């Protein structure tokens, strides 16, 4: 507001009429000064406008990021509900698929309780201490065969528990910033754009709604294309929909 008041003040000065007593020479000088000042003020107004537009864009981006983070928090905490994890033996991974992290020590195994994946020592305390950020990181590292604590992580200053930041960096690493499969090299094959291809991997998580099965070593872009998902939230959701199941038969 102070800046606009300053600009209006100069506009008033620049637009003041020339005195009738001024001679023609002085009038020409005044016009030149007036035009120069008007151009200067116009430039300042443009800078202020584009600066405001840039700040507005950043504000909208921040709001969208915050909204995505909240949506991801709701999704992760509902799918990995701690009460269900610790109390239900019916909450398992689907099919007969086995997806392991790069070192092969942690895996998503079909028919196994989800509880056992997050609590390898079968202690409830391990689940109760796990944060939504850790649930998501652990799940994605096994799904894509990443080296835990090393690959696809945000910069240290951004590892603050924000799920939107974590998911974005994981998919940047795996699929590239354009989500076209041009990500980083990783896993046993050292190529981008594949689900875990650690040597122990096998089987599959059966697809749903006519989409592709989740198969170790298969192309990630082809899998997501089969479900016509276009956002990171949708990509994560379909992975959870396919890999997790609740059955009374187990």
| Final residue before a domain boundary, out of 40, 58, 79 | 79
Q: What angle do CA 111, 205, 222 make, to 5 degrees?
A: 165
Between residues 11 and 186, which one has the greater pLDDT? 186
Give the pLDDT confidence score for residue 227 in this predicted structure: 98
Classify burial at 88, counting beta carbons within 10 Å of its beta carbon; exposed 0-12, middle 13-18, buried 19 or more: middle
Same domain, 53 and 122: no
Q: Does residue 108 contact residue 243 with C-beta atoms inside 8 Å?
A: yes
Q: What is the mean pLDDT of residues 130-147?
A: 97
Give the pLDDT confidence score for residue 64 in this predicted structure: 87
Q: What is the mean pLDDT of residues 92-102?
A: 96
Give the pLDDT confidence score for residue 20 in this predicted structure: 47
Give the pLDDT confidence score for residue 246 in this predicted structure: 86
Tokens of 243: 């890999």
Percent of the chain with pLDDT over 70: 74
Domain of residue 48 covers 1-11+30-79
Q: What is the mean pLDDT of residues 43-48?
A: 63
Tokens of 143: 């799904």
- Return the closest-CA partner of residue 106 out of 117, 91, 122: 117
Same domain, 75 and 112: no
Give the pLDDT confidence score for residue 11 in this predicted structure: 47
What contacts 79, CB < 8 A, 6 or more positions away?
Answer: 240, 244
Between residues 36 and 175, which one has the greater pLDDT? 175
Give the pLDDT confidence score for residue 62 in this predicted structure: 75
Same domain, 69 and 132: no
Same domain, 75 and 173: no
* 91 phi/psi in degrees, rounded to 5: -90, 105
Average pLDDT of the chain? Answer: 85
Assess whether pLDDT exceeds 70 at residue 124: yes
Give the pLDDT confidence score for residue 215 in this predicted structure: 98
Same domain, 124 and 40: no
**CA-to-CA distance for 59 and 51, rounded, in angstroms?**
12
- State how many domains the chain has: 2
Q: In this structure, is residue 18 part of a structural domain?
A: no
Same domain, 110 and 130: yes
Same domain, 74 and 89: no
Same domain, 146 and 167: yes
Same domain, 34 and 157: no
Question: pLDDT tens digit string along 191-238?
Answer: 999 999 999 999 999 999 999 999 999 999 999 999 999 999 999 999
The CB density around residue 183, as the number of other CB atoms within 10 Å, is 24
Q: In this structure, is residue 23 part of a structural domain?
A: no
């Amino acid at each position: 507001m102070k800046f606009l008041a300053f600009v209006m003040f100069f506009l008033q000065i620049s637009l003041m009429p020339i005195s009738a007593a001024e001679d023609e020479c002085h009038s020409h000088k005044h016009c030149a000064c007036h035009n120069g000042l008007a151009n200067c003020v116009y430039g300042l107004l443009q800078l202020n406008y584009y600066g405001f537009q840039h700040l507005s864009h950043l504000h909208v981006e921040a709001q969208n990021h915050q909204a995505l983070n909240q949506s991801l928090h709701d999704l992760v905490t509902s799918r990995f509900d701690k009460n269900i994890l610790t109390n239900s033996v019916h909450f398992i991974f689907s099919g007969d698929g086995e997806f392991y992290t790069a070192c092969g020590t942690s895996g998503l195994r079909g028919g196994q309780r989800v509880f056992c994946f997050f609590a390898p020592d079968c202690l409830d305390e391990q689940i109760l201490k796990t944060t939504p950020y850790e649930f998501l990181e652990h799940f994605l590292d096994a799904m894509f065969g990443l080296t835990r604590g090393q690959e696809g992580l945000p910069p240290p200053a951004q590892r603050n528990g924000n799920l939107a930041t974590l998911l974005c960096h994981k998919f940047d690493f795996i699929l590239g910033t354009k989500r076209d499969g041009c990500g980083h090299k990783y896993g046993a094959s050292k190529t981008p754009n594949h689900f875990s291809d650690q040597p122990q991997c096998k089987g599959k998580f059966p697809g749903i709604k006519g989409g592709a099965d989740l198969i170790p070593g298969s192309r990630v872009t082809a899998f997501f294309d089969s479900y016509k998902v276009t956002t990171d939230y949708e990509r994560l959701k379909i992975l959870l929909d396919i890999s997790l199941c609740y059955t009374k038969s187990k």
